[in-house]
Amino acid sequence: MSQSAERLAEFPVCNSFGDVVNERSQSAVQRLIGSWRYVGSSLDGKSQPGRGASPKGIIIYDAHGHMACHVAPDREVTRAGKEPTGEEATAALADHIAYFGTYSVDERAQTVTHHRQGSVQPGDKGDVVRGYEFVGDRLILRPVGTTREVIWERIK
Amino acid sequence: MTQSDVAKKLIGSWRYIGTRINGGNWNRGANPKGMIYYGPHGEMAVQIAPDVERRRSGPEITPEEAKIALKDYIAYFGTYTVDEQAGTVTHHRHDSLQPGDKADLVRRYEFTGDRLVLRPPNSTMEVTWERIK
């Protein structure tokens, strides 16, 4: 590598939301940006039951460092009255993921961190860190320290 | 403005500013947060989180905790279409957090500077968003 190329490689670059990143992490951000359709989740290599036959979901990474995630189980959840009862609310929340906030990418660790600003799940606070892997049109997110994986497919 | 121009203006993400109804503020607490997203491929998602403490006392959420967590929290996603003639955007919901929430929602849109105002037809409600950039 020539000296100038080496200098360039080490030169810190700011991504669109102000984090200092190197050039490779900027490209990981570029690959994340867009929206992704939920395909499924697995634990220990086995697909996870509990979300029904055809759960739906979307995860969004925008160009300005904002993100949102929503995974809805395939389950009929009813509401008898104007406001859901405690039981109906409990059923609606079970296995339902809905949060949003900002995100940042650590290219060295190959992780994306979701800085949650709002989440419907009681007690949900703070950041979640996900290892990311791109496979063709798919994005695999793995909660760090678990054998869980969540598969997404690029919406295009 | 052609339809594609409107769709282009919608595309991106927008930060929740607030909701008004009958000229007053819809109470979602002191500092509710939210985001709406319109994608370039016709996909959309929205979430609005009221500013309340969503507590969990144990590993299982109690029915009362669930009720508080769910109340007025808007979260749905799907696709959208624009009717320029009518000045409306329709949210075709594929799923929604709220039980019993189904079908399409029609919103009149208005762009004012960096803001987007969405109004359900035949309602005094308006929801204001600010472009995230």
Instruction: List average pLDDT for each run of 10 residues in chain A, which is 156 residues long.
Output: 40 50 65 97 83 93 97 90 93 95 96 97 93 96 94 97
Interface residue of B36, B51, B80, B95 to substitute, partner A, most A CBs within 10 Å:
B95
**pLDDT at residue B25, as a whole number:** 87
* Contact criterion met (CB < 8 Å) for A56 and B35: no
A26/chain B closest Cα distance in angstroms:
17
Query: In which element (H, E) is residue B4 found?
Result: helix B3-10
**What's the confidence (pLDDT) of residue A51?**
87
Average pLDDT on B56-83 reads: 95
Does the structure's ipTM exceed the value 0.90?
yes
B10 touches chain A (CB under 8 A): no
Flag whether pLDDT at B11 surpasses 50.
yes
> Does the CB of B64 have a partner CB in chain A at under 8 Å?
yes
CATH number of B3-131: 2.40.128.280
Q: Tell me which chain A residues have a C-beta less than 8 angstroms from the C-beta of B95.
A: 56-57, 70, 72
Sequence length of chain B is 133
pLDDT in tens, B22-60: 988 888 999 999 999 999 999 999 999 999 999 999 989
Q: Which of A60, A16, A38 is nearest to B35 (CA)?
A: A60
CB-based contact A78 B34, cutoff 8 Å = no
Domain ranges of chain A: 36-154
For B81, other C-beta atoms within 10 Å of its C-beta total 15
Fold of A36-154: Lipocalin (2.40.128)
**pTM value > 0.90:** no
